[in-house]
Amino acid sequence: MVRDSSKADLKTVNVRLYEGLFLVDPVQAAADWDSVMAAVRGLLEKAKAEIVSIGKWDDRKLAYKIRKETRGAYIICYFRVNSTSIQQMERNIQLSATIWRALILNAERMSPKDIERETPAMAAERMQQRPAEEAADRAAEPKEQAAKPEPADSIESVVEDTATE
């Protein structure tokens, strides 16, 4: 008996790793970050995607106005999903009131190190925390006696030094 391989191929599931960059309203994101993240997660769960990593990428100036706004907040997400679900996911993004735009790319060649790399938002947060940590360290250190300033060179020694050169 000959087996028809074309029917078997139709049932093969192609789960792949994708990178999604979602553009959302920065005002809404600042006011209620949890609801914005819930909207993105809901979109992915509706497509039966397995979320590998999700987080804020950055707030940026837009090249052109979108919904009368000149700035946008970006969310970056890595997820695994059946490749046939991408088209329906893009349709749901177009219908979403929360998500303005999205870019979904195949990320199969990315390593886990690439996925977990620092985003601009993470770098900005780290830079804001650094001065606070340094101030806390300075406050914890015992105050040392101020060192006496060394006397400045006399004008004659400076003139002699420049004359010998």
Residue 84 forms part of a structural domain:
yes
Residue 94 forms part of a structural domain:
yes
Domain count, the chain: 1
CATH number at residue 74: 3.30.70.60
In angstroms, the CA 49 to CA 87 distance is 13
Residue 156 forms part of a structural domain:
no
In angstroms, the CA 107 to CA 20 distance is 9
Residue 32 forms part of a structural domain:
yes
Q: Residues 46-88: pLDDT tens digits?
A: 999 999 989 999 899 999 999 888 999 999 999 999 988 899 9
Structure tokens given for 56 = 């804020």
Q: How confident is the model at residue 163 (pLDDT cuts 50, 70, 90)?
A: low
What is the per-residue pLDDT for 36?
Answer: 92
Q: Residues 123-138: pLDDT tens digits?
A: 888 888 877 667 777 7
Residue 138 forms part of a structural domain:
no
What is the per-residue pLDDT for 91?
Answer: 92
Residue 7 forms part of a structural domain:
no
In angstroms, the CA 104 to CA 19 distance is 6
Domain hosting residue 106, numbered range? 12-125
Residue 150 forms part of a structural domain:
no
Residue 108 forms part of a structural domain:
yes
